[in-house]
Each structure stands twice: as structure tokens, then as C-alpha cells.
Structure 1
Amino acid sequence: MLSTKPSFCPLIEASIGRAVYSPSLITPVPLFKAAHQGVRRFRTFTQWIPPSSYVLLSCFSVQLGLALMKSLYSSLGSAGTVFLCKLIGTVLLLLFYRPCWKLYSLESYVLVGVYGLTIAVGSYAFYAAIERIPLGIATTVEFLGPLGVAFLGSHRRIDLLWIFLAVGGVALLNPLSPTSVNLDLVGMGLALLAAFSWGSYIILAGLVGQVFPGGSGLALGMGIASLLLLPGGIASGGMALLNPSVLLLGVLVAFLNTVLPYSLEFAMLKQVPPRIFGILISVEPAIAAIVGFLILGEQLSFKTLIAIVMVISAAMGVTWFGRQNPHA
């Protein structure tokens, strides 16, 4: 769960607090108050739900965000959309967590820098990949990242069963059909890069969470990711990035697709081993199918139902046996 330790910058926090809550200043005080109240409520909320539930909430949030994100593609393109969401997400995370920029070692800055790099590279590579290869194939290849982390980190035979169920379920939900698909080599390479970045992100998030208090590491890493995405985002989105309607929708998408899921995953990776997270995250394609059925009216085939049962069984198995052997 998120740390409730005091900030490393009490003087900065005190000055910000006086500026924010001073009635003499003409500033959007309700916005800042709502942000701080939201953080406190989020911390309270995450204290009474099990860590394994974080990934479910994260996946649902991501799928809702992706449904809305499609509306931004026509105006901004994929690079512009990713940049806008990460930039707005950075602003919200900085407001929420108010990280301190000082009092850390050079190794800590390098760590959070590499962490931000994995966020930027993974996001850009995946959305660049789906411009060249079908979404189903890109998603399947990308899941090699977390499932690879789960496999390499497994020390028990029972874990191989959950990995097998997760891999099989993801493959059934995103079937590869060579007869109907022209596999672009650049697109496949980008999908593999996204997979590697996602796996690296899972490992680094836990390390960053141990060095930086609360969500400070997440906010700093997201800021670095936004800077790295800036050139391509501006080139793709141009002046459309300043359109008020685009910005308004961008705030909603950024919260659903960036702020909430990354915060939940960051909190979870502080408490569970990367191998368990790598298996649990495999429920995301199943949740996408369920969201499509409930919201978009899409039909669930028998094969899809079998796949959903497989990934949910893997998630339940790793959660139950992980609870029985928390240090295994």
C-alpha cells in the first residue's frame, strides 16, 4: 500500500501548503484541496483491499481509458495521444504526491531515470507496433514481458502451472492467425521492445518504491517519461494539443489510463514479488473481453469463455498459494 511517511521536504510542503490554502491568493484552491483529499482517500482505500485486487481495478481502469483514448487518435495521432496522456498524468501525479527533488543519491536518480525510460519506451513502442501489426498480435507479444518475469522469478513447480494457464489464456484471447495476417517485422520488433520494457518496468517499480517515499518515485518517473515523449508528441499532435476539448478529454483519459492504474500497480509492486504480478496482470485481456461484452455488446465465444476461465484460475491460484507461502 502507499506509504504514509511524511515528505522529505517539510519546508517545501509547508510553503506550498500556505500558498495553496491562503485565502488571499487567486488560485484554484478547490482543485488543490480536491487533489490532496483524493490522495488521502486513495491511501485509505488501498489499506483495506488486498494487493491482488489492485491489478483488477487497474485493468478495468485501463480498458475504460483505452475506449475513450480512441477518440483522441484522429486529432493527435498515436504519439501525440500517448504524450498528452502522460503529460497530464505527470501534472496530476505531481499535484497528488508533491515529490521532493533533492536529498537523494546519484544512484537513486539513475534508477528513477531508467524507470521513466521504460515507461516512455514501452508506451511508444506498443502504440507504434499496433500501427503496423494487428492489436491482438501486439498484445500477445507484449505479454511476453510480464509472463517472462513470472517465469524467470519462479522457484516452485506450482508456479509453472499458473504461468501455463496464463499463457494459454492470453493466446486464446489473442489468437495468432498467419493466414490472415501480414506480420510486419518492424511491428513485431516494436512489440518485442514493448514486452521487454514492460518486464523491466515491473522489476524497476518495486525498486523505485523502496527508495522514494509514497508515490514520489512514480511521479518523478512519469515526468521523465513525458520529457522523453515530448518531441514525438508535439510532432504528431501539433496545435491540436492545445484544443480545449482535446485537453478536457485528455484529463479524463490520463486519469483512467495513467494516474489510477500506474498508482495501483506501483502500490502493489511494493508488496508482492514481480513474479506474482507478472501472472496476475494476465487477467487484463480477459477483463477487456468482459468490458467489451458489458459495455460494447460484443459477443463472448466459447473459446473466449475458456480463456477467461484459464487466466482467472491462474490469478486465483497464484494469489491463494502466494498467500500460503508469502516468502516463497
Structure 2
Amino acid sequence: MAIAALLLLVIVRPRPRRWTRQQWLAAVLFGVSLAAMNGFFYAAIDRIPLGPAVAIEFLGPLVLAAVLTRRVADAIWVGVALLGMALLGVDGMIGAEPLDPLGLLFIFVAAGFWIMYIRMSARVGSLIPGHGGLSIGLLVAAVLLLPVGVPASVTVAGAPDLLLLASITAVLSSVIPYTFELAALRRLPQRVFGVLLSLEPAFATLAGWMILGQDATVLRMLAVALVIAASVGTTLGVRRDRRSDGPFTAPIPLPD
């Protein structure tokens, strides 16, 4: 998180001195959501397998999509995506040892903070132009994670290969995806964004099969198909809305 924050601060060069109290509050809460979402996720996968952890965590954005949806079609697609997530979870648990209760608690907390991340990302996108809000949010997250990050950073500092890996991870897991997600939330309703996020574990499953040589079971591939179908369905629904309602506008800023 610290490496990602430094990279964005150098690239974006935000000017937070000109921000209002409302903008600062949004950026800080955004950083809190980033720190908690990532921190609890890594604490969880230290105790439970990655497959079930990813499936359970994605219940957060999918539940948000279900709560925010106003159309029957959207609710159906959310249900299809939830079914896909459930199959990924079942696939990850078949033949495995019982899941650690503390690990389960951590991943459910991460799912809750994922909801906060989506809400605050939309808030930051509507209040703060450009990517200054993201860079300050990452900085806040890095500061909050310092108590648990210092021991690991000492180890990484003494190993150039680990430092390089950490830098690559910062770019691929934080700088690039959070930048694109912030841009997406300026253009998409949060309910649609929540369902489209479910493509991530589907792509993770495909990457594990193609790159890491992990097993591609029938359940896993069926889950991928269901999630892709849900994402395509919601995307087509948005396009139909745009044709019928006229020019599509950014989501309405969240109330204070």
C-alpha cells in the first residue's frame, strides 16, 4: 500500500490544501476502507484457502448490488452471480479441512469493508476531480497498516527480489485496478459495478488454470460461466437503459 501510495503521489501530485472538509473526510474514509478491506483479506487467507476466501469476500459487492437494484432483471442477474460465487466456495471446500472460524470471521469483515470501499470510491469520485482522492486514500491506508506492516517491510528491505515483487504487486493489485475502478464508478451505477466485480474471481480462476496449472474442475468452470453471464446481462441492461433514457450520467453523489 505504501509503495502504491508513493507511486500515485509522484504521478498525480494532488493538491489537498485546496480541499474542503467534505473532500478530506471522503478521502480519509476511503483510505480506511482500503486498509481494512486489504488487511482483513490477507489475515483471512493466512488461515483459510484462497478459493473459499475470494468467493466469500465477493458476497460484499454482490449484496450491495442486490440492495441497490430496482429492476427485476437486475435482481435475477445478481442471483445468478451469487450462485456462481457459491459454486466457487463449494469447489474450494470440497475435500479440504474444516475452515478456520477466525479466518471466516476475517473474510466476512473484509466483505463488509468492500461494500464501504465501493460506496466511498463513488463518493471520492464525485467530490474530488482526477485521482488525487485515490492517492491520498492509499496514503491513509498505508499509515493505518503500519503497525502490522513494519515487521514485513524490514524483511523485504533486506531482500531485493522481495522488494521488486512487492513493487510489481503494488502496481498490479493497487495502482492499476483502483485507478480503473474509480473511473468506472464515475460512469456506472454502484449496483452494476458490484455485479461486474464478480468477474474478478472468475478471471482469477482462469488465470490459476492457465498460468499456475491449478485444476479447472467442472464446478469451477460452471461458476465462471454463471458469473460471466451475470456480468454480460447487467451490461446489456445498462445499454438498453441508455438508449431508452437518453445520455447516461454519472451516479448521483451519496448523501452526507
Using structure 2 for the length normalisation, give the TM-score.
0.89
State which of 139, 143, 152 in structure 1 corresponds to 2:67.
Answer: 152
Structure 1 position 212 matched with structure 2 position 128: yes
Structure 1: gaps (5+ residues): 1-85
Measure, in 2, the Cα distance between the counterparts of 1:177 and 1:243. 35
CA shift, 1:251, in A, is: 1.7
Measure, in 1, the Cα distance between the counterparts of 2:51 and 2:34. 21
Question: Corresponding residue for 1:306?
Answer: 222
Please tell me the residue identity of whatever aligns with 2:230.
A
CA shift, 1:314, in A, is: 0.3
Q: Secondary structure at the match of 1:325?
A: helix
State which of 216, 223, 226 in structure 1 corresponds to 2:142.
Answer: 226
Measure, in 1, the Cα distance between the counterparts of 2:155 and 2:212. 32
1:133-144 matches, cutoff 5 A: 133-144=48-59
What's the CA shift string for 1:241-300, capped at 9, x where partnerless?
353332222221211111111111111011101110110111112111211222223342
Q: Secondary structure at the match of 1:266?
A: helix
Question: Corresponding residue for 2:163?
Answer: 247
Q: Is the 8 A contact 2:156 2:163 kept in 1?
A: no
1:156-235 matches, cutoff 5 A: 156-175=71-90, 177=93, 180-235=96-151
Question: Corresponding residue for 2:177?
Answer: 261
Please tell me the residue identity of whatever aligns with 1:262.
Y
Structure 2: gaps (5+ residues): 249-256
Aligned length: 243
Q: Is the 8 A contact 2:13 2:132 kept in 1?
A: yes
Give identity over the alignment, percent: 36
CA shift, 1:186, in A, is: 1.9
Q: Secondary structure at the match of 2:30?
A: helix
Q: Secondary structure at the match of 1:133?
A: coil
Measure, in 2, the Cα distance between the counterparts of 1:180 and 1:260. 33
Measure, in 1, the Cα distance between the counterparts of 2:203 and 2:110. 20
1:307-326 matches, cutoff 5 A: 307-326=223-242
Q: Secondary structure at the match of 2:69?
A: coil
What's the CA shift string for 1:105-158, capped at 9, x where partnerless?
212211111110000011010110111222222222211110011011000000
Q: Secondary structure at the match of 2:202?
A: helix
CA shift, 1:181, in A, is: 3.2
CA shift, 1:177, in A, is: 3.9
Structure 1 position 118 matched with structure 2 position 33: yes
Measure, in 2, the Cα distance between the counterparts of 1:179 and 1:290. 21
Measure, in 1, the Cα distance between the counterparts of 2:210 and 2:99. 31
CA 1:179–1:252 in structure 2 vs 1: closer, same or farther (change >3 Å)? closer
Per mean C-alpha deviation after superposition, the further-off stretch among 102-111 and 190-199 is 102-111
Please tell me the residue identity of whatever aligns with 1:197.
F
Please tell me the residue identity of whatever aligns with 2:59.
L
Question: Corresponding residue for 1:287?
Answer: 203
What's the CA shift string for 1:90-115, capped at 9, x where partnerless?
11111221111211221221111111
Measure, in 2, the Cα distance between the counterparts of 1:239 and 1:302. 40
Q: CA RMSD in A?
A: 1.8
Structure label with greater radius of gyration: 1
Per mean C-alpha deviation after superposition, the further-off stretch among 233-242 and 313-322 is 233-242
CA shift, 1:212, in A, is: 1.0
